[in-house]
């Protein structure tokens, strides 16, 4: 019971937070929002109630006494003119209703999409590493569509329904108070019953949306890694995972559908009872209460329209359920704390020389056991302009150290300083714009080679882009491509070979010309010939810059100013290549065991 109560409170809290986000973007178009209310109420008031009222007057006039053929337009002319005006204005309001919906949805889609993008792009790598990218895309799409769906149902169903209730009571109360009393009692019963069932169905809608997002994540994971799927012949296995997720999604949708249908049958039965009561009043209204024929037409038409509105109440609540269910997961993502966030008073990082200090560093990953620290009281000083190699076995913390420098994760203890400035007190963008980062796996967009090289410096000239490609030993293969620099590289650069992708990434780093350089296995994907050529470019690139080179090919770091050996998150050796080999310690052992320039099993 306690668990169910907690879950119910969580669902209600999520719904309130979703309404908060939706209302924030709606407030930006308050004019359109007010117009949606006015046009919806006016549309119903005129085309349903005013039309029927005028027709009731016509029926009463016809019943009062015969009208000669020559007097038709004289007697009924005002009624005809009234109907013309009512319908013309009503149709205009209908179009204004559509216009207000377009304005709200266009603005909402833009603002909410940007909100989701900003939130996701500012989240830490720990956040992204534990989630499917495809699922986040699906959640964003559903969040935006949830807003559009809610705007539709509120404008086209909720406001007209509320207006119908108020106008029906207001128009019929003076002529049939007893009927209105019975009608109100039945409508209150209907709403109470429908709302109670709605609360039960809301979690089912959220479950259905969650299952659909999981299905999107499974599909995205398989498509993203399609090469692995095919080369290992695991199509059947991935199909099994997809089928299982698909079944779960279908089962969740079926549970939601069955609950919705049960609610529909219950509410439809109550609508039938209401119409039965209406038929009795219409049949006996004149005999029992002296109600005129025109008024009886009004009673029937108003009540019939109202019951049809409430008959669609089932569909309206289902669509509201769907909107909140679709938005639920992204709402929870938006409410998650940002693990790596800029301080309120964060200032841009000013790099004058490029000295780096790791002071009393303590760090463990949030999803790791509390006693499994990556670093504990680690200290490392890198003078400005020094070229430092980080080596060690897998899991020693080499790549993690560079991520902490880039502030892709935040330390739990100690500080990371650049020129004496604590990076946690600087803006993240200013920090990363001062560091050229080349990872082991080249990070390329499905854009042209030119765009990929110029990504860190979009204002670069064509000459600068070409020179960077040449220094990275990429110009020759680029010019051999049919579209040259305009070649689209495919998702994650799949149209290029591993060595080609890496050289494009190195060209990007060369073009950025940042004072600090981080190379994380930057040459590991290159063949021996390309590596030799690129090494020369990297030597030039590192000259005068503070450089951190993570490598398992020790030949890559042998010529650097200094080599730091990490083991289990601690610095165990520190010196030049010659000094460390002469010491005969861990580095010397690694050097001696290498065959063909590779350290067996060492990849982070």
Residue 430 lies in a domain: no
User: Per-residue b/e over 280-301, b at no fewer than 16 CB within 10 Å?
Assistant: ebbeebeeeeebbebbbbbbbb
In which residue are the tokens 């895309």 written? 137
For the chain, what is the radius of gyration of the CA atoms?
Answer: 35
pLDDT above 60 for 597:
no
pLDDT per position as a tens digit, 309-318: 777 776 787 7
What's 283's domain CATH number? 1.20.1560.10
pLDDT tops 50 at residue 603: no
Sheet holding 413-418, edge to edge: 375-382, 356-363, 413-418, 421-422
Q: What is the arithmetic mean of pLDDT over 523-546?
A: 70
Q: Which H helix or E strand runs over 295?
A: helix 293-311
Cβ atoms of 321 and 201 closer than 8 Å: yes
- Examine residue 528 and state whether it is found in any structural domain, yes or no: no
DSSP 364: -
DSSP 237: H
Q: What pLDDT is stored for residue 526 in this prediction?
A: 62
Report the C-alpha gap between 31 and 100 in whole angstroms. 9
Q: Count of domains in the chain?
A: 1
Residues 413/363, Cβ–Cβ less than 8 Å = yes
Q: What is the pLDDT of residue 500?
A: 82
The answer to whether 177 and 291 have CB atoms below 8 angstroms apart is: no
The contacts found for 470-473 with CB under 8 angstroms, 24 or more apart, are 471/507, 471/510, 471/537, 471/540, 471/541, 472/503, 472/504, 472/506, 472/507, 472/510, 472/534, 472/537, 473/503, 473/530, 473/533, 473/534, 473/537
Given the DSSP bridges, would you call strands 356-363 and 375-382 parallel, antiparallel or unpaired? antiparallel
pLDDT in tens, 130-162: 676 767 887 888 899 999 999 999 999 889 888
Residue 363 inside a domain? The answer is no
Tell me the C-alpha distance between 567 and 394, whole Å.
Answer: 9
User: What DSSP designation does 371 have?
Assistant: T
Residue at 39 is within a domain: yes
Pairing mode, strands 546-550 and 516-520: parallel
Q: What's the pLDDT tens digit per position in 356-387? A: 999 998 888 776 666 677 888 889 999 998 99
Asked if pLDDT for residue 292 goes beyond 80, the answer is no
In a domain, 50, yes or no: yes
Q: Has residue 55 been placed in a domain?
A: yes
The answer, yes or no, to whether residue 1 has pLDDT greater than 60, is no
Range of the domain at 140: 11-335
Q: What are the Cα distances from residue 502, in Å, to 434, 484, 489, 542, 554?
A: 21, 17, 12, 17, 19
Q: How confident is the model at residue 96 (pLDDT cuts 50, 70, 90)?
A: very high
Residue 95 has pLDDT above 90, yes or no: yes
The pLDDT assigned to 370 comes to 65
Asked whether residue 524 is domain-assigned, the answer is no
- Give pLDDT tens digits for 20-37: 889 999 999 999 999 999
In a domain, 23, yes or no: yes
Provide the percentage of residues in the chain whose pLDDT is more than 90.
14
Residues 507, 534: Cα–Cα separation, whole Å: 10
Confidence of residue 416 (pLDDT cuts 50, 70, 90): very high
Higher pLDDT, 260 or 238: 238
pLDDT tens track for 457-500: 888 899 999 988 888 888 888 888 888 898 888 777 778 877 78
> Which secondary structure element, helix H or strand E, spans residue 380, and what is its range?
strand 375-382
């Amino acid at each position: 019971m306690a668990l169910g109560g907690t879950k119910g409170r969580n669902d209600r809290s999520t719904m309130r937070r979703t309404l908060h986000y939706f209302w924030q973007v709606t407030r930006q178009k308050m004019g359109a929002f007010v117009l949606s209310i006015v046009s919806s109420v006016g549309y119903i008031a005129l085309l349903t109630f005013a039309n029927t009222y005028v027709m009731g007057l016509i029926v009463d006039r016809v019943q009062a006494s015969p009208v000669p053929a020559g007097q038709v337009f004289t007697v009924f002319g005002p009624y005809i003119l009234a109907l013309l005006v009512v319908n013309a204005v009503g149709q205009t309001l209908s179009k204004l209703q559509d216009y207000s919906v377009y304005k709200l949805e266009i603005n909402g889609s833009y603002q909410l999409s940007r909100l989701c993008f900003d939130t996701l792009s500012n989240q830490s790598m720990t956040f992204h590493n534990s989630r499917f990218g495809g699922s986040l895309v699906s959640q964003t799409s559903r969040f935006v569509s949830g807003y559009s769906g809610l705007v539709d149902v509120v404008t086209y169903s909720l406001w007209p329904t509320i207006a119908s209730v108020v106008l029906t009571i207001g128009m019929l109360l003076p002529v049939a108070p007893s009927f209105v009393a019975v009608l109100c009692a039945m409508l209150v019963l209907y709403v109470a019953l429908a709302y109670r069932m709605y609360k039960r169905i809301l979690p089912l809608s959220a479950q259905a949306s969650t299952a659909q997002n999981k299905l999107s994540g499974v599909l995205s994971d398989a498509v993203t890694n399609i090469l692995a799927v095919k080369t290992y012949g695991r199509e059947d296995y991935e199909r099994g995972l997809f089928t299982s997720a698909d079944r779960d999604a279908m089962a969740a949708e079926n549970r939601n559908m069955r609950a919705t249908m049960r609610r529909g049958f219950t509410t439809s039965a109550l609508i039938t009872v209401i119409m039965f009561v209406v038929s009795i009043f219409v049949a006996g209204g004149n005999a029992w209460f002296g109600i005129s024929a025109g008024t009886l037409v009004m009673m029937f038409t108003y009540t019939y329209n109202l019951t049809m509105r409430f008959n669609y109440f089932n569909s309206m609540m289902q669509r509201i359920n769907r909107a909140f269910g679709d938005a639920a997961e992204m709402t929870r993502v938006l409410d998650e704390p940002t693990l790596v966030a800029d301080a309120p008073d964060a200032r841009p990082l000013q790099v004058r020389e490029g000295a780096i200090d790791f002071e009393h560093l303590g760090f463990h990953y949030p999803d790791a056991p509390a006693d499994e620290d990556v670093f504990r009281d680690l200290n490392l000083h890198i003078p400005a302009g020094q070229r430092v190699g980080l080596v060690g076995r897998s899991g020693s913390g080499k790549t993690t150290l560079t991520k902490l420098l880039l502030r892709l994760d935040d330390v739990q203890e100690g500080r990371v300083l650049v020129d004496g400035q604590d990076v946690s007190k600087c803006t993240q963008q200013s920090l990363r714009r001062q560091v050229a980062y080349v990872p082991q796996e080249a990070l390329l967009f499905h854009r042209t080679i030119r765009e990929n090289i110029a990504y860190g410096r979009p204002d670069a000239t064509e000459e600068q882009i070409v020179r960077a490609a040449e220094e990275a030993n990429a110009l020759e293969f680029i010019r051999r491509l049919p579209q040259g620099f305009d070649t689209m590289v495919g998702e994650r650069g799949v149209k290029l070979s591993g060595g080609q992708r890496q050289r494009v990434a190195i060209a990007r780093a060369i073009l950025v010309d940042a004072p600090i350089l981080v190379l994380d296995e930057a040459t590991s994907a290159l063949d021996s010939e390309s590596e030799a050529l690129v090494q020369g470019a990297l030597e030039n690139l590192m000259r005068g810059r503070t450089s951190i080179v993570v490598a398992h090919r020790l030949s890559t770091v042998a010529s650097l100013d200094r080599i730091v050996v990490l083991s289990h998150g601690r610095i165990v050796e520190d010196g030049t290549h010659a000094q460390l080999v002469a010491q005969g310690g861990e580095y010397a052992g690694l050097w001696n065991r290498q065959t063909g320039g590779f350290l067996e099993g060492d990849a982070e």
